[in-house]
Every structure is written in C-alpha cells, then in structure tokens.
Amino acid sequence: MEAVVQQPITRDAPVRLEGLGKEYGHFTALKALDLTVAEGTSLGFLGPNGAGKSTTIKIMTNLIRPSRGRAALFGIDVRREPTRALARIGAVIETPEFYGYLSPLETLAYAGRLRGMSSKDLRSRSEAVLKEVKLTEWADHRIQEFSKGMKQRLAIAQSLLHEPDLLILDEPTSGLDPRGMAEVRDVIKSLKDQGRTIFMSSHLLGEVQEVCDDVALLNHGELLIRGSVRELSRGADTSTIQATFLHPATPQDLEALAGLPGVEEVKPSSDSTVDLRITGGQEGQARVLEGMIARGLKVITYRPLGSSLEQLYLDRIQESDRL
Amino acid sequence: MTPSPLAQIVTVAAYEIRKYIRGRRLLGMLILLGLIVGLFVGLPPALGIKYASTPDAFISTFATFSGLLVVLGGVLFAADALVSEHEKRTGYFLFPNPVRREVLVLGKIVASLIVCTAVLSLYYGAAAIAALIITGSLTWEVGLSYLYTLGYMTAVVGVAYLLSALLKGTVAATVLTFFLFTLIFSIIGGILPRANVEPWFIPTSASGIIANALGGPAVRPGPGGGDVGFIPDPATSLLVFAGYAIAGGVLAILWYGRRELAS
Ligand SMILES: Nc1ncnc2c1ncn2[C@@H]1O[C@H](COP(=O)(O)OP(=O)(O)OP(=O)(O)O)[C@@H](O)[C@H]1O
Ligand SMILES: [Mg+2]
C-alpha cells in the first residue's frame, strides 16, 4: 500500500504568488506581491511589524481570501483547490493553539488521520517528530498544561508530521528559549539539506542568514528587496563598526577618526569605545582600521555591530518609510 | 493521499465527541439528568404522594423537561463548536490541513447530533425503565414522544450551528442559543395566537408535540396568562423541525466556508 503513493515530481514552483493583494476594510495590508520560491530553496520573509507577512502566509494556507491576485502551491491554486494545494505542505501560523483536552500524540493523530496517514506511519512519524522537537516526555500529557514554548514546539512537530515538500513557517522560533531556537533552526536546516522547500517569516536576521538561501523584504505590503542572502550581505555598502581602544579616545582622536576616508559618522558609546558608520564595504572597514593604527590608537577590538544584512534591512526600511 | 470527505467527516466527528466527553460538559449533563430522574422517582414516596398510574401520565412529567434538555444540549454540544476555532485560535492548527471547511462543519454537526441523541436517549431510557417498574407497562406514545424530542433537537442544533458560524464569540453564541429557545421563540409563539396567527412555524411552539404525544396539557396558556393556546400538529411540526435543521446547517456551512481566520 505505502509503496506507490509517491507524488509525481512536477516542475511547478512550490510557491508562486502573482499580484497578491489584501484589504482589511479600507486598510491595504498587501498591495500586489509577486514572489516565487524555487524547489529546494529556502526563503526568509522579512519585514517590520505589520508589513504583511502573516497576511501573505494566511492567504497561502487558505485562512483568508486574497482581495486580488492568486497564490499557487506546486502549481495548484489555493483558492480553487485548497485540499490539493495544502496536501503537500506543512505550516506553522502565528503560534497556533491546540485542543487542550488532547495530548501531543493525539493531536498528531488527528492531523495525520485528516491527511490519510496509515496507523503505522503515524506511529513512527509521531515518535520521530516529537523527538525532534524534544517533546517525547510530554507525548501523553494534556496540552492544557503546556507552556507557550512547548506549544510552539508541537506546532513545529505537526508541520513536519507528513514529511511535507514545502514548509510555511510564520516566525517559527517565536516564544522559544535560546536553546529551543537553536534546536528548531537545526531542524529546519536539516530539512533544507533534505531538499525540502522552506518559506519562513522571521524577525531574527541572524536566523535568516543562518537558515535561508534567499530573502524577501516586505514593508507596508510591498516587496522592497528580493535576492540571495550571500549577495545581499556582500552588497551592503555601509556598516557599523564598534571599536574599543586600550586608552580613552581624546576629542582630537574622534575628530581625526571622523576625517578618515569612508567614515560617515563617529559616535562615542563610552570613554574608550566608539561606533563608526563606514562606507566602502569590507575594504572601507580595513582602511579605517589602518588609519586608526597609523594614528597610534591601540585597538583592542574592532567588530561589526549587527550584520551587514541588518544594516541593509534598516536602510531600506528607513528609505521606504520616508517615501 | 488525502482521504475521502466522508472519511474526514468521521475523523472530525470522532475527535469532537472526544472533546465533549473529556471537557466535562457531558459529565455535567449526565449529573443533571440523574438529578431530574432522581427527583421524579424519589420525591413522591418521600412526600407520601402516589405516582401517576399510567405510563403516559408518568412519563409526561419527564417530557415537560425534554425541551429544556434539548436546548441545553444545543448550548453545550453545538453552539460554540464553530466559533471556538476562531476565538481559541485552534483554527490555526486545524484549517491548514487538507480538509474543506464544509467537511469540518459536517463532522462537527455529526458529533453534536450523536452526543445530543445519546443524552436524550439516556433520559427517555431512564424514564421508560422507571415507568415500567412503577406502572408495570409502557406504551408506543412514549417512543413517539422520544422521536419528537430528537426531531426538535435537530432543529436546535441546526440553529445553534448557524449562530456559531455567524457570531464572533463563544459566549455570544451560547447565550443567544439559550435565550432564543427559552425566551424569544416562546414569547413570539405565545403572542402570535393573539393576533390570530398560528405559530406552527415557531420551533418552541412546534415542540409542544413532545408532551402532547403523551396526552399532556393540550392547550397551554400564552404568556401573561392569556387563555389563547395552540395545538401543534405532529406532521407539520416535524417538517418545521427539519426545515430549521436543514436551513441552519446549510447556512452554517456556507457562511463558515467564507469566514476568514484573521485576528
Ligand atoms: N483582521 C484584520 N483586520 C484588520 N487589519 C488587520 C487584520 N489582520 C491584520 N491587519 C493589519 O494588516 C497589516 C499586516 O498585518 P500582518 O499580520 O500581515 O503583519 P506581519 O508582517 O505579520 O507583522 P508581525 O511582524 O507583527 O507579525 C497590519 O497593519 C495589521 O494591523
Ligand atoms: Mg505576523
């Protein structure tokens, strides 16, 4: 029975959003989003609070209707054929709640039955996913006693249950403790290594940088950037560097620093620490360090404050907010 | 592969029934049943009163409460079934599964009907056994009253689901279901005859057939003690029940299918 149910491999992109828009009353949450995610890649979906990330994800999972445009998963229109479109995906949306009267095992069984998993599959997969999110000990406890983080772990587990080809995750690590976050990141990375496609919203740029190949940046319901993490990180021209000196920097030192080529701004954050905004990419950073040493400043540390992706994010959001 | 809609309905119904069993509501309902039966059977000897001598008369005292039990069933086992998925956010887990919203509603309705039927069957079963022991016999009218009760129950469940699909909160849905059937419909059904309109289409008025089947008070006074009564016709009433059940269920499915999960 279980041998030949393998899905045919289609060439349709796992995610294709075309002119997707959504209005809540008179408020436009999403304008006209075009976005494609290729098979086997992982996309980090970024944007400030209220940018429209969850709105997009809810349309993709048929929780809300788009006001215009369409969302297709593996070439299947979500509105027209929701069950077929959702059959190959696993989703975590906005920290879901679970039925308090069920245990994690029963919850997984409910989802598994709705998806038509065999009892045998269900048993082995439930065990595996609960182990993966470290809920094995709690497998038979009623969910009503669970903490927020435990529910989030269960949310991850149920999204993985049927080994979906596409994972749609809305802030998957929110509510988790630092170790939980790292564990979930590892789970997602290993799924990526297995060739599954991942669509993941997040506020944690480090997380996106670690897990995702590509990023899309959304603000006010509009796509600002879409590109590969590597290129965008490299391409960021300005960065903020924090330098610490052995001795406090004098006002003359600060003035001299501000005069170095490529330095846009010098902001002392304590006696012997300054934050510098530097243009010219990594070469610019190297030149400034040379300049400091040439001036006789004893540099103890010299490190970027935040990633260059973060800088890019902040710059572009600020730019689009100004418009 | 995703199972057939029918198989999914069975799955949904099974988990919903489990919810009612574990959620203590069923326990509460059973305690209430025990209390009613206990009072009817225990109180007369304690007070030195004689039991009714015929099974119909004996059970008609039970039957006067059938309607209330039906409404309580609708409140406890139907009214919040749909709206709670939104209010409690469990929809974020349930809805992204490959299952149509219509299938979810149907599965839930099936569960509500099964649980309500079980509760009412227990009530009539207990009443029938008590009648058999005390009066030594039973009649077909008891079975008829039971079937009419089930018919009324489907109407209440249908309306409860419609309210559950429409309203924003579980409290609103349950409270409105309760007052609709205990107050609003009764008042309308009581006043209409005074305007020379027969309230055959009001479900609470139609539910008079439950008691009337046992030769209960055929003409009951309207509100305010007026003496204008209405004797519902069984066949018409059953059609009315079916109408409310089907209209309520269908509208609930249509509306819930369009309802968005955004909060
Ligand atoms: N049901 C709703 N009714 C009205 N407005 C809504 C509704 N849901 C969302 N919005 C608005 O739509 C905008 C986008 O919301 P959305 O939840 O998609 O943002 P988000 O990018 O996920 O933000 P966050 O990072 O805070 O999760 C917000 O301004 C929000 O206020
Ligand atoms: Mg969000």
Contacts of A253-259 spanning 24+ positions with Cβ under 8 A:
A253/A295, A253/A297, A256/A295, A257/A288, A257/A291, A257/A292, A257/A295
Q: Do A99 and B19 touch (CB under 8 A)?
A: yes
Which residues make Cβ contacts (< 8 Å) with residue A145, sequence separation at least 6? Answer: none
* Dihedral angle of Cα A131, A135, A137, A138, to the nearest 10 degrees: -140
| Highest mean pLDDT, choosing among A224-228, A240-244, A302-306, B174-178 | B174-178
Instruction: Quote the mean pLDDT of chain B.
Output: 91
Distance CA B135, CA B129 (A): 10
Q: Which residues of B touch A99 (CB under 8 A)?
A: 15, 19, 90
Residue A305 is predicted with a pLDDT of 77
The CA–CA distances, whole Å, from A263 to A142, A257, A277, A291 equal 58, 7, 6, 11
Handedness of CA A69, A74, A78, A80 (dihedral sign): positive
Q: What is the pLDDT of residues A31-70, one digit of tens each?
A: 999 999 999 999 999 999 999 999 999 999 999 999 999 9
Average pLDDT in the B58-77 region?
Answer: 92
Q: What percent of chain B has pLDDT over 90?
A: 73
Cα–Cα distance for residue pair A308/B93, rounded to 1 Å: 36
Q: For B197-248, how does the pLDDT look when each residue is reduced to its tens digit (9 = 90+)?
A: 999 999 999 999 998 888 755 444 444 444 446 888 999 999 999 999 999 9
Tell me the one-letter amino acid at A141.
Answer: H
Q: Which atom of ligand 1 is nearest to the CA of A51?
A: 21
Q: Which percentage of chain A shows pLDDT scores above 70?
A: 95
DSSP secondary structure of A75-96: TEETTT-HHHHHTTEEEE-SS-
Cα–Cα distance between A95 and B89 in angstroms, integer? 9
Is the pLDDT score of A308 beyond 90?
no
A58, A96, A116 ranked by CB distance to B3: nearest: A116
Mean pLDDT, range B62-82, rounded to an integer: 94
Residue B68 sits at the chain A interface (C-beta within 8 Å): no
Q: Where are the alpha helices (DSSP H) in chain A?
A: 53-60, 82-86, 104-114, 119-132, 148-160, 178-193, 205-211, 229-235, 251-259, 281-294, 308-322
How open is the CA angle B16-B18-B21, to the nearest 5 degrees? 115
Q: How far is CA A250 from the centre of its chain?
A: 42
Nearest to A96 among B11, B23, B92 (CB): B92
Which string of b and e fits A145-176 if b means at least 16 CB within 10 Å?
ebeebbbbbbbbbbbbbbebbbbbbbbbbbbb
**Does A22 contact B at CB distance below 8 Å?**
no
DSSP B110-174: HHHHHHHHHHHHHHHHHHHHHHHHHHS---HHHHHHHHHHHHHHHHHHHHHHHHHHH-S-HHHHH
CB-nearest to B98 from A58, A110, A115 is A115
Mean pLDDT across B15-33:
93
- Which atom of ligand 1 lies at the shortest distance from residue B262's CA? 1
Q: Does the distance separating the beta carbons of A89 and B96 come in below 8 Å? A: yes
Q: Residue B221's pLDDT is what?
A: 43
pLDDT exceeds cutoff 60 at A1:
no
pLDDT tens per residue, range A6-33: 444 547 899 999 999 999 999 999 999 9
Cβ–Cβ < 8 Å for B124, B74: no
Residue nearest to atom 4 of ligand 1 (CA): A24
Residue nearest to atom 11 of ligand 1 (CA): A29
Neighbours of B156 (CB within 10 A): 30
Q: How far is the CA of A24 from the centre of ligand 1 (A)?
A: 9
Percentage of chain A with pLDDT > 90? Answer: 62
Of A5, A87, A95, the CB nearest to B98: A87
Residues touching ligand 1 (Cβ under 6 Å) are A 24, 27, 29, 47, 49-55; B 262-263
A244-281 pLDDT, tens digit per residue, is 999 998 888 889 899 998 898 898 888 889 999 888 87
pLDDT band of residue A236 (cuts 50, 70, 90) is: low
C-alpha dist (Å) from residue B111 to B20, B21, B116, B259? 9, 11, 9, 21
3-state secondary structure of A291: helix
Helices vs strands, H then E, count in chain A: 11, 14
Residue among A17, A20, A24, A170 to mutate when testing ligand 1 (max atoms within 8 A of CB): A24
Is the model's pTM score more than 0.90? no
- The alpha carbon of residue B244 is apart from the nearest alpha carbon of chain A, in Å, by 29
ipTM of this model?
0.90
Q: Is A202 on the interface with B (CB under 8 A)?
A: no
